[in-house]
Amino acid sequence: MASAARLAKLGHDVTLLEAADHLGGALEPISQDGFTWDGGPTMTLLPAVTRDLFRKSGRPLERELDLEPVEVIREHRFEDRTRVQMSGGSRAAQLEAFDALGKGLGRQWVDFVASYAEDWEVLRQHYFEVPWSPTALPREVAALLESRETMAKRIRRTFKDRRMRLVAGFPFEAEGHNPRDVPAWAGLVHYLEQRFGAWTVPGGMHQVTGVLEQRLATRKVAVLKGTAATDVVLRGGRVVGVAISGPDGEAEIESEMVVSAIDPRRLPATERYADRTLPAMPPQVFHLGLKDAPELPAAEVVLHGDPLLVVRASGNAWTVHVRGRLLEDVTVALARHRLDVRDQVVSRVDLGPRELVGRWGGSPYGLLWMGRNTVRHRLGPTTPIPGLYAAGAHATPGAGLPFVGLSAALVAQAITTDTGGGDLRA
C-alpha cells in the first residue's frame, strides 16, 4: 500500500493486487462479540517513516490520524518475580528503571544502547534510506554487515545478569529468531526505541489501513481485491506484466514495472531467490475478550520463561503471543504469572502460526535470521529481474512496520533513478 501510494504520487499509473477481500495484511483487525483486536502490529518505531509516507503521497499524517507516543512500552517480568519497565524515547527513564533492578545495571543498559548510535547512522545513510548495492558498499557499511559478531555474543559479552540478557534478546526471541543467528548490529532496534520511542494509534493500529486505503483512492490507484498475483510475466527476461487469478478467473495484466510485496516463495518467477532462506514464523496468538480486565502497567507485558508470553492490552481486548512450549491453556499459563483472568474471558480467538501464515498469504515477520548473509538473500529494492522490485517484510530492509515503510521509500527511489538496467547488485 505504501509503495502504491508513493508511486502514484510520482505520476505512475498504479494497480494494487490484493489476494484477500480486504487490504492491510497483518494490520487487519479481528472482531468478535463486540471486541476488536489488532491482528498484528500494535505499535511502530520510527514515526518519521509514517510521516514521510503521508507527506510524500499527499496530506500530512497529522491531518488524517493521531499517532501518539507510548509512554511505557513494555514491562518485563522475570521468573524471580522482579520486573523492569521500558519507557520509550527516554534514556534517563531507562537508566533509572534498570538501576532500580540492580546496582550498576542502568549504566550497563544505556551504554549498550548507546553503542548502536553509530551503527544506526551508518546503516541509515547507506542501507535503510538509500537503495544499496551489495557489491559496492562503502567500507564502513560492509564492515558492519559482514561482521561475524552475533547478537548472542554481544549480549553475553555485555551482560552478566541473566535478566539483562533476556531484555536485550527479547525483540529477536519475540519474532521467532535465535539470537545466535542474528547479527549484533540488529540490536539497533533498542537504540531506535530509546531514541525515538514507540508510537501507536489510539483505538488500534488497524486504523492505518483505512487511512491508507483512502489515500490510494485519492491518488487514483486501481485496487483489485480478491485478486492474487500468480506469477510475474516475463518477455526477454524483463517484466511485462502480472498473471492474476481473480473473481473473473485467470488473466494477465500488462505492466512496465512490478513491485512484489509478498514472500518471493509465492511466485514461480521469484521462488528460486528464496532457496537459501526460511520465513520467520508468527507465534501462537490468543485474542481474549475480557470482562473488567485489570489495567496493565505497559502497552505490553512480557512474562519470561518457557513458554515466553507477551500480553498486549487495549482495554478489555487482550492479545497474548506465545513462543515455546505451551503445555496448558493459555489462561492457566497467564495465571501462573499472576495474571489470572480465567473467570473474565467472555470471548476468545485462538490462532496458530500456520493458520496465520495462511490467512496473511505469508509470514509478516519476513525472513528468519540465518546469520549475517541473510541481508544478502533479501530481495529489494531492486531484484535480478529487470522491471521487478521488492518491498514488504521479506524485502530489504526487513520486517516490522517502520522497515516495511522504508522498503516502500527505497522502491520509489530505485524506480525513480533506475535507467532500465535492473538490479543494483549487478
**Least distance (Å) from ligand FAD to the CB of residue 35?**
17
Identify the residue among 361, 370, 377, 425 touching ligand FAD (CB under 6 A). 361
Site stretch for ligand FAD (CB under 6 A), options 17-25, 186-194, 331-339, 372-380: 17-25
Identify the residue among 3, 7, 41, 159 touching ligand FAD (CB under 6 A). 41
Point out the residue whose Cβ comes nearest to ligand FAD: 25
- Size of residue set near ligand FAD by CB under 6 A: 31
C-alpha cell at position 320: 497474548
Asked whether position 40 contacts ligand FAD by CB under 6 A, the answer is: yes
Answer positive or negative: Cα dihedral of 295, 297, 299, 303.
Answer: negative
Asked whether position 401 contacts ligand FAD by CB under 6 A, the answer is: yes
**Whose CA is closest to 163, among 87, 85, 92?**
85
Q: How far apart are CA 164 and CA 161, in angstroms?
A: 5
CB-CB contact of 321 with 39 (8 Å): no
Site stretch for ligand FAD (CB under 6 A), options 36-44, 50-58, 247-255, 303-311: 36-44
Alpha helix stretches (DSSP H) within 175-272: 188-196, 207-218
| 212-231 positions binding ligand FAD, by CB under 6 A | 228-229
**Least distance (Å) from ligand FAD to the CB of residue 263?**
7
Q: Between 42 and 150, whose beta carbon lies closer to ligand FAD? A: 42
Q: Between 300 and 418, whose beta carbon lies closer to ligand FAD? A: 300
C-alpha cell at position 178: 535465535
Asked whether position 362 contacts ligand FAD by CB under 6 A, the answer is: yes
Helix%, strand%, coil% for the chain, nearest 5: 40, 25, 40
Site stretch for ligand FAD (CB under 6 A), options 106-114, 337-345, 398-406, 411-419: 398-406
Which residues is 32 bridged to in the sheet? 35
Contacts of 215 (CB under 8 A, 6+ apart): 5, 54, 57, 58, 64
| Element (DSSP H or E) covering residue 336 | helix 330-336
What burial class does residue 275 get, using C-beta atoms within 10 Å of its C-beta: 0-12 exposed, 13-18 middle, 19+ buried? exposed
C-alpha cell at position 34: 463486540
What burial class does residue 38 get, using C-beta atoms within 10 Å of its C-beta: 0-12 exposed, 13-18 middle, 19+ buried? buried
Provide the mask over 290-329, with x wherever binding to ligand FAD is found by CB under 6 A and - wherever it is not. -------------------------------x--------
Site stretch for ligand FAD (CB under 6 A), options 52-60, 134-142, 206-214, 258-266: 258-266
Site stretch for ligand FAD (CB under 6 A), options 18-26, 124-132, 156-164, 408-416: 18-26
Identify the residue among 313, 404, 406, 415 touching ligand FAD (CB under 6 A). 404
Q: How far apart are CA 215 and CA 308, in angstroms?
A: 38
Asked whether position 5 contacts ligand FAD by CB under 6 A, the answer is: no
| 128-187 positions binding ligand FAD, by CB under 6 A | none
**Residues binding ligand FAD (CB under 6 A):** 17-20, 25-27, 40-44, 228-229, 261-262, 266, 282, 285, 321, 360-362, 364-365, 392-393, 399-401, 404
